[in-house]
Structures are given as C-alpha cells and as structure tokens.
C-alpha cells in the first residue's frame, strides 16, 4: 500500500491534468482520480513495468466513461456550457504548451471532438505518449490510434487560436475589459475587440447569464453598455492567473461572482468567456496544480 500511495501521489498532478483536459470539469476530474485510486490499490505492482503509463491508462479509461456521461448531462444544460475555471500558479504560463492546453479557448476547441478523439489528442499532443501506450488506454490498435490522432490534430488545427497570444497581450486586453466593467468606459475595449468577437456566459440556470452566444463587436458592445454586469452592487475586479494565463476575477459585494477569460488572436479579443455558475467557481479561490 505504501508503494502504491507513493506512486499515485508522485503522479497525481499529471493525472488530474489528463482528466481535466478530457472533461473540462475539475469536479469530474477529482471524481475520476478517486475512481482511479480505487482501481490502482487493487493492482499487483509486481506486474507493472511503468507506473506512470499504467496510471495514465486507468485515468484515461475512467475519464472516457465520465466524458460520455457528461455529454448527456450537457444536452439538458441551461444556456452555453463553459469549462470550469482554475486558478493556476504563475509558473504554468512558462510552459507554453501546457498553458495553451488548459486554456479556456483550447478546452472549448476540445469540446468539438468525439470522446476517443479528445483522449488521443490530449495524450499524444500534450503528454507526448507513444501510440502503443495510447492504444492501451483507449482500447484501439496503434494503427487506429495514428489515424484518430491525425484526424483530431487536423480538426483542432482548424479551430485553435491563430497564433498563441503572449501573456502581455492577453493582460492588456483584459485590462481594457476591466476598465469597461469598473467604469463603463468602452472605448479602450472597442479598440481591442475583433469584428467577429463571440461572447459566451455560463450561469448553469442558477445565475443570470446569456442563453446563447452573442456575436459581433456591435452586439457585444451593446451588451456591455446595457449592463451585462450586475447593476446596483459594489463591483471589484482582479487580474489573476486563470487556466494558465491572465484572467479576470469579478466580485460583487465582496463575494466571488464570476470569472472572465478571453481568447486573443493577433492582439484582438475574438472570444470572451464569462463563468458565473457557482458550482464552477470553487477552484478560483485557491491554486490548482497542473503538470505534464
């Protein structure tokens, strides 16, 4: 039991990151880790050649099961579904590939993949597992995994942000957003909104939020002008590290009310993501460790 515990603890952050990138939900990722642990302690460790690969295989299989169930839950979700935001350590941004892989923009791209495609993409492109290891995790042949990886890579390439924005670019865009929220002054925000910007908000049917995407600079600006943000309350905003990059934490009357993340391409905001569902905000009060 001691050896099993040590191995699990040593790889826990990696296992969480695999599950989170597959699910977009920290709560579901934690459940998957619990299920992985219960299976891991029953394994005869003398038969395990590589503990990391074995654990990744368990967590991937559990995450695939959860991902299929999560898809059914999303069908009845009220309004747009956004990934659960994480408060991450500043050093996550130093690993550019990891930071991009956990970003809100990339997680939304991964949502467009089928479950097995998502698993293969995450394991291959983010964690650099070989095809044989991935085959064991998704119950496919290595040849089939290569084909799935090729399709998934092409699918993501067509939808991922065009060029990874630097933290400084994203921070500057968010500061314009911050001024708009705090002062109602929209000009600086207009200067950084792309013509085809898309705004999404997730209240989960519990908090007031957009029930459908708002598209285009005129519509998004009008939304902000008429009070996307809660009125008649004391608002404060804080720039923090969300999902590996700059994000905006919004408080109303001192309580956490939401998180804003943005997708920045060529210096302009092309996506604005506002998470208000209270069930998705617990991870922005303390740092969550992610790793590769």
φ and ψ at 196, to 5 degrees? -105, 25
At 99-119, the pLDDT tens digits run 999 999 999 999 999 999 999
pLDDT of residue 46: 86
| Arithmetic mean of pLDDT, 239-266 | 92
Counting every residue written for the chain, the total comes to 292
φ and ψ at 190, to 5 degrees? -55, -35
CA distance 290 to 92: 8
| Arithmetic mean of pLDDT, 169-195 | 86
What is this structure's pTM?
0.93
pLDDT of residue 37: 96
Q: Is a pLDDT exceeding 80 seen at residue 230? A: no
CA distance 119 to 126: 10
Relative to beta strand 193-202, strand 268-275 is: parallel
Long-range contacts of 285-290 (CB under 8 A, 24+ apart): 285/87, 285/256, 286/87, 287/87, 287/88, 287/89, 288/16, 288/26, 288/86, 288/87, 288/88, 289/13, 289/16, 289/89, 290/13, 290/16, 290/17, 290/20, 290/86, 290/88, 290/92, 290/98, 290/102, 290/244
pLDDT of residue 227: 62
CA angle 273, 277, 283 (to 5 degrees): 85
At 125-138, the pLDDT tens digits run 999 999 999 999 99
CA distance 236 to 257: 10
What the block records as the tokens of 153 is 């890579």
CA distance 7 to 40: 10
Q: Is a pLDDT exceeding 70 seen at residue 231? A: no
Beta bridge partners of residue 273, listed in sequence order: 200, 261
Q: How confident is the model at residue 11 (pLDDT cuts 50, 70, 90)?
A: very high
């Amino acid at each position: 039991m001691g050896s099993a515990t040590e191995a699990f603890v040593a790889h826990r952050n990696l296992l969480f990151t695999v599950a989170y990138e597959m699910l977009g939900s920290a709560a579901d990722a934690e459940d998957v880790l619990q299920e992985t642990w219960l299976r891991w302690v029953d394994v005869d460790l003398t038969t395990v050649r590589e503990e990391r690969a074995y654990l990744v295989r368990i967590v991937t299989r559990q995450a695939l099961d959860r991902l299929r169930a999560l898809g059914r839950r999303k069908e009845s979700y009220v309004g747009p579904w956004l990934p659960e935001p994480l408060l991450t350590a500043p050093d996550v941004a130093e690993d550019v590939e990891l930071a991009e892989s956990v970003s809100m923009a990339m997680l939304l791209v991964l949502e467009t993949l089928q479950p097995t495609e998502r698993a293969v993409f995450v394991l291959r492109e983010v964690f650099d597992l070989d095809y044989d290891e991935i085959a064991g995790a998704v119950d496919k042949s290595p040849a089939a995994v290569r084909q799935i990886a090729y399709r998934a890579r092409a699918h993501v390439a067509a939808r991922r942000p065009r060029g990874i924005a630097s933290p400084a670019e994203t921070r500057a865009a968010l500061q314009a957003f911050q001024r708009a929220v705090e002062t109602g002054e929209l000009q600086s925000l207009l200067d950084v909104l792309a013509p085809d910007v898309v705004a999404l908000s997730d209240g989960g049917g519990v908090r007031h939020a957009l029930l459908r995407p708002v598209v285009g600079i005129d519509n998004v600006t009008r939304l902000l002008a008429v009070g996307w943000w809660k009125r008649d309350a004391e608002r404060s905003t804080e720039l923090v590290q969300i999902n590996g990059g700059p994000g905006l934490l919004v408080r109303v009357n001192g309580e956490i009310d939401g998180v804003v993340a943005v997708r920045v391409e060529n210096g302009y905001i092309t996506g604005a993501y506002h998470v208000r569902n209270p069930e998705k905000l617990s991870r922005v009060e303390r740092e969550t460790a992610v790793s590769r």
